[in-house]
Amino acid sequence: MKLRHLVIALTAGATLLACSDNEPNSVGDAPIAIAIHGGAGTITRDNLSREKEAEIREALTLATEAGYAVLESGGEAVDAVQAAIQVLEENPLFNAGRGAVYTYEGRHELDASIMLGDTLEAGAVSGVTNIKSPIEAARAVMERSRHVFLSGEGAESFAREQGLEQVSNTYFNTPHRYEQLQRALTALNQTEDETTLIAHQHWDNAFNMGTVGAVALDADGNLAAGTSTGGMTAKRWGRIGDSPVIGAGTWADNESCAVSATGHGEYFIRYHVAADICSRVKYQQLSVVEAGDQVIHDVLVNAGGTGGVIILDPMGNISMPFNTEGMYRASKTSNEQLTVGIYREE
Amino acid sequence: MKLRHLVIALTAGATLLACSDNEPNSVGDAPIAIAIHGGAGTITRDNLSREKEAEIREALTLATEAGYAVLESGGEAVDAVQAAIQVLEENPLFNAGRGAVYTYEGRHELDASIMLGDTLEAGAVSGVTNIKSPIEAARAVMERSRHVFLSGEGAESFAREQGLEQVSNTYFNTPHRYEQLQRALTALNQTEDETTLIAHQHWDNAFNMGTVGAVALDADGNLAAGTSTGGMTAKRWGRIGDSPVIGAGTWADNESCAVSATGHGEYFIRYHVAADICSRVKYQQLSVVEAGDQVIHDVLVNAGGTGGVIILDPMGNISMPFNTEGMYRASKTSNEQLTVGIYREE
């Protein structure tokens, strides 16, 4: 089925060929690939210090290498995704795990999800507060519960039963995220219309930035995708964003592609961004470049939704479109060296 | 855009024509339509008493009439959806609002979502315990918050701030659902593998049955969809099912269709059922009958997922496929009298 699909995609035109650098060098070569992101937003050379840029490039490199090492040793895509994301969860530069943004009430509520492209199995957690690695919790839900999506205190209980590592909520604290919360609260207190405030971009993009995610292709031809986040600074009322919503922030299907998203989550839910990109690949035989560009640059831009995605197909083709100033991203495949990107012109 | 889409659909073959009974009688006639469901499962003439069947048919009729009355008086699709669902939420026969199933811990945690086909605005709540009408809460999230998806105690706080009617959690109690919980707990206590127990159908379908939903088309050509549920009997760990997940249990897009789903929610999330049906309509120019049949009878049956959906397109065409013994359902359009269905052969 997968092979037939790819043949159809190839005969559909030159557009996919244009991004098929990762085709196996010889028949029988199985491509392996990983792509990661660490958030999209107003990232420009003017507002990112050289020192911080170097730190971010190093973190993205380490995460990509951690995931690629799994694939290179014959490991599964899902293990590569988890390995890469956990490197970023542990790094306070990103809005996932340690370094997560603060809620309106001044704590951390984390969301994550993971999905397998061969079986369409999936797991997700939302609003967890004491699980050290939300992506590990999402995977435990997928593999060890009869449910797909667990939330709040219930998800915490499940994680404790499963023996996952627990931390105090203050483990996720960082001074720069606390300072962002104060600025966000000030902005919210000065408006009577929170929806307009945020929708119309009178809202520092950095407040939401730093969701992390990974997509991987293993030597067996299986795709996987995962996403982990602290959500949106000053989020309220048990808000769930797109990251734990299968089809919105995360999607994987061997018949089309794997996607992890980052951006203004409400839009990514309403436009079911991750699954819609893969539906366009599956039903319209678009390349991952075409499908991603349509959804990120046409659909989302028209709607006013900011963000980006990483996309990977079963041939190892990667696309990483974003409609913001920048997106932290990196990739490595069996045919391409590790590359790291931050700004638009990279 | 919508008109062009329909023309393409018509030229694609006779399949859509076969279900196009609801085309306007004359140019300028705007069709209006509503379809509802009250759950899918092992419903046969043998296990449903005549008395209960009559009660259910009456409830489905009242809900459909409530929604249709809104449309007939020129009201919006979203109001028709809410009106129909609220009739079912208030009826203890259904697993939504009063009559909701019990969680593992013996309480009620309700989920709901709603979506507009013209703007793709959406709202959802999950795990709410004291909001009388979860569908009203989902709508309030859509219209009056800066978020799309609220959960748990946070969603309760939001609803209280918005002045939505509060009830004690015991308001949702019913003896027959309590009895189902006891049987479900017995089954769970007798197995060491809960996932297999439930996945392999050694689980009374009635435990999960009775999710309610509605899709509507108003005279302005706008679609809307909504779903409300108590979830799955004996659900644990803050489990979120498909009903509040935009794209899984609920979807509406004027360019394709509106869908509300009912069934084994974990499968409906993993196969993003509601949005996938509409993606097939949108990208493959399938009719709502073809798209619904593919997903419900092929994709879900192959995966082992049981349930059904109601689907409505912008011409007023309705399809209500299910892969269970029966599905409580009803519809009424400007060209067709109200019809109620329960069993397969209706």
Give me the catalytic one of B103, B129, B211, B227: B211
A196 or B306: which leads in pLDDT: B306
Mean predicted lDDT score pLDDT of chain B: 89
Are the Cβ atoms of B240 and A127 closer than 8 angstroms?
no
Structure tokens at A132: 């050290």
> Residue B295: what pLDDT?
98
Structure tokens at B242: 């498909």
Q: Are strands A223-229 and A250-252 parallel, antiparallel or unpaired?
A: unpaired
Beta strands in A8-73 (DSSP E): 33-41
Q: How far is A276 from chain B (nearest CA, A)?
A: 8
Structure tokens at A79: 């293990």
Average pLDDT over residues A36-59: 91
Query: So what's the pLDDT on residue B326?
Result: 94
Q: Decide: A317 and A19 in contact? Cβ < 8 Å.
A: yes
pLDDT tens per residue across span B176-191:
999 999 998 988 888 7
Task: Please give the DSSP secondary-structure letter assigned to residue A322.
Answer: B
pLDDT of residue A346: 79
Q: Is the Cβ–Cβ distance between B308 and B263 less than 8 Å?
A: yes
Beta pairing class for B307-312 and B258-263: antiparallel
Of B152, B239, B284, Cβ closest to residue A127: B152
Q: Can you give the pTM of this predicted structure? A: 0.90
CB < 8 Å to B250, chain A:
none
pLDDT reported for residue A192 = 66
B154/A contact by beta carbon, under 8 A: yes
pLDDT range class, residue A105, cuts 50, 70, 90: very high
State what percent of residues in chain A have pLDDT above 70. Answer: 87
Q: Half-sphere exposure (CA, 13 Å, Cβ side) for B266?
A: 25
Give the rounded percent of residues in chain B with a pLDDT score beyond 70.
Answer: 87
Residue A149 contacts B where some CB pair is shorter than 8 Å: yes
Q: Which of A145, A238, A270 sits opposite B151 (nearest CB)?
A: A238
* Number of Cβ atoms within 10 Å of the Cβ of A109: 27
Asked if residue B161 has pLDDT above 60, the reply is yes
φ, ψ at B56 (rounded to 5°):
-70, -45
| φ, ψ at A219 (rounded to 5°) | -65, -15
Residues of chain A contacting B120 with CB distance shorter than 8 Å: 270-271, 303
| Nearest Cα to Cα of residue B143 among A300, A195, A238 | A195
Pick among A147, A185, A257, A294 to test the B interface (most B CBs inside 10 A): A147
Rounded to whole angstroms, the Cα distance separating A243 from A110 reads 10
What pLDDT is stored for residue A345 in this prediction? 80
Mean local confidence (pLDDT), A3-10: 38
* Complex-level ipTM: 0.90
Length of chain B counted residue by residue = 346
**CA of B246 vs chain A CAs: smallest distance (Å):** 7
Q: Taking 50 as the threshold, does the pLDDT of residue B25 lie above it?
A: no
In three-state secondary structure terms, A246 is strand
Interface of B with A in 110-129 (CB under 8 A): 115, 120-122, 126-127
Q: How many CB pairs under 8 A join A and B?
A: 159
Instruction: Name residue A113's beta-bridge partners.
Output: A124, A227
Q: What pLDDT score was predicted for residue B15? A: 37
Rounded Cα distance between A261 and B168, Å, is 39
Both tokens of residue B298? 């092929």
Q: What is the DSSP letter of A238?
A: T
Q: Cβ of B152 and A148 within 8 Å?
A: no
Residue-level pLDDT at A14: 36
Q: Which of A16-30, A221-235, B292-306 has the lowest mean pLDDT?
A: A16-30
Q: Is the pLDDT of residue A243 over 50?
A: yes
Q: Which residues of A are catalytic?
A: 211
Best mutation target among A116, A131, A144, A146 (most B Cβ atoms within 10 Å) is A146
Inter-chain touch B147–A236, beta carbons under 8 Å: yes
Kindly write down the DSSP assignment for every residue of B183-248, as one continuous string: HHHHHHHT-S-HHHHHHTT-S-GGGG---EEEEEE-TTS-EEEEEEE--STT--TT---STTSBTT
Is the pLDDT at A3 greater than 60? The verdict is no
According to DSSP, the β-strands at A307-312 and A258-263 are: antiparallel
Where are the extended beta strands (E) located within chain A?
Answer: 33-41, 110-116, 122-128, 149-151, 212-217, 223-229, 250-252, 258-263, 307-312, 318-319, 326-333, 339-343
| Token reading at B198 | 């439930």
Put simply, the answer to whether A151 touches B152 (Cβ < 8 Å) is: yes
Residue A209 has a CB neighbour count (10 Å cut-off) of 26
Question: In angstroms, what is the C-alpha Rg of chain B?
Answer: 19
B117-159: pLDDT as tens digits: 999 999 999 999 999 999 999 999 999 998 999 999 999 999 9
List CB contacts of A20: < 8 A, sequence separation 6 or more: A10, A315, A317
- Out of B158, B239, B245, whose CB is closest to A154? B239
**CA pair distance B238, B235, nearest whole angstrom:** 8
Reported as type and span, the H/E element at residue A67 is: helix A50-72
Question: How does the average pLDDT of chain A come out, rounded?
Answer: 89
Active site residue B211: yes
Q: Which helix (H) or strand (E) holds A293?
A: helix A288-293
Q: Which residue from A197, A246, A283 is facing B269, i.e. has the nearest CB?
A: A246
Give the least confident one: A124-138, A188-202, B71-85. Answer: A188-202
Domain A28-343, CATH among 3.60.20.30, 3.90.1150.10, 3.20.20.150, 3.40.630.180: 3.60.20.30
Residue B239 is nearest to which of A149, A245, A283, comparing CB atoms? A149
Q: What is the pLDDT of residues A314-345, one digit of tens each?
A: 999 999 999 999 999 999 999 999 999 999 98
